[in-house]
Amino acid sequence: MRFDTNTPVQPIFHPIAQKHKVDLWIKRDDMIHPFVSGNKWRKLQFIFEDAAQKGATRLVSFGGPYSNHLVALACAGAIANIQTKAFVRGESVSNHMLQLCQSWGMELSFVNRTAYQNKQLLFEEHQQAGDYFIDEGGRGNLAVKGCSDIIPGNQSFTHAVCAVGTGTTFAGIVQQSNLLGILPLGIVILKGAQGIEQDIQALCNDTDRFELMHQFHEGGYAKSTNALWSFMDDFAKQTGILLDQVYTGKMMKAVFALIESGYFPAQSKILTVHTGGLLGLLTRPLP
């Protein structure tokens, strides 16, 4: 089973980009699949291959109750006809995303935060024959490999911008950007995640260059502000493209703030990466 990762690269026509004479583009990885969305399929593609080679019959992974990774895994598992199980962090809850996971046949097991910390132990304690371990969010070297061909090599971009959670997706972008002579810019969406720099370095080559920005988290992971929602609504109105509030909305809002501050020299050709995650919009508070 494979999904087509050759997604469109589209220009963004927006008055702010025009005013500051930068050329803004977006890589539409949200179009890979509606539920096996964006970077989550890229991170899983070689993991699925490896699991199949090893004759796995069940994929076991980990995530919070709003995990895009678990939704992607549940859906991809159902399509590939392989069982899935997830250890979900925290006390038993129900929400639309976990309900979707169950629709695709994923078995859910809620574990408290202490037990959740030792994922390898959880896996081993409940292991059945044919079980295959997938770390939280799919993180690991196979995931980085799956994220190292996101940028089209023939379009002379000057910058590539991506939201950074664990930094796995960004590490793939960094490797590729350095080969292409593009400056990779990561927008960190967690608060106080200074250690992420070393995590990314560990996944890259010693010589790789990248820039990380820590001031655009809007209050912290999965926190949102009215300013963020109105930015996302304005962006949708201008371009037709929906963003999510956890990752891509913060990334794009940061790009516009950086454009307005003069961070990007005139004539920059900026590729933003839409990593998907639109199901997060299900949790938007209603007025």
Ligand X SMILES: *Cc1c(COP(=O)(O)O)cnc(C)c1O
Binding site for ligand X (CB under 6 A): 38-40, 68, 137, 163-170, 244, 247-248, 275-277
Residue 58 Cβ vs ligand X, minimum distance, rounded to whole Å: 22
Nearer to ligand X, 106 or 163 (CB): 163
CA dist., res. 195 & res. 4, Å (int): 33
CB 17 within 8 A of CB 252: no
Task: Provide the residue type at 116 as one letter.
Answer: Y
CB of 154 to ligand X, least distance (A): 25
Task: Rank residues 85 and 274 by Cβ distance to ligand X and give the closer one.
Answer: 274
- How many other CB atoms sit within 10 Å of the CB of residue 66? 20
Residue 10 or 130: which CB sits closer to ligand X? 10
Least distance CB 273 / ligand X (angstroms): 8
**Nearest approach, Cβ of 15 to ligand X (angstroms)?**
26
Instruction: Report the C-alpha gap between 106 and 100 in whole angstroms.
Output: 9
Nearer to ligand X, 84 or 168 (CB): 168
Q: Exposed e or buried b for every residue in 252-266, given b needs 16+ CB within 10 A?
A: bbbbbebbeeebbee
Minimum CB distance to ligand X smaller for 20 or for 151: 151
CB of 230: closest distance to ligand X in angstroms?
20
Element holding 26 (H helix, E strand): strand 23-28
- Chain position whose Cβ is nearest to ligand X: 277
On whether the CB atoms of residues 164 and 189 are closer than 8 A, the answer is yes
Amino acid at the residue 98: L
Q: Work out how close the CB of 84 gets to ligand X at its nearest, in angstroms, rounded to a whole number.
A: 17
Q: Which residue has the tokens 């890229």?
A: 42
User: Between 163 and 270, whose beta carbon lies closer to ligand X?
Assistant: 163
Residue 25 backbone phi and psi in degrees, to 5: -130, 160
Give the distance, in angstroms, between the CA of residue 19 and the centroid of all CA atoms in the same chain: 30
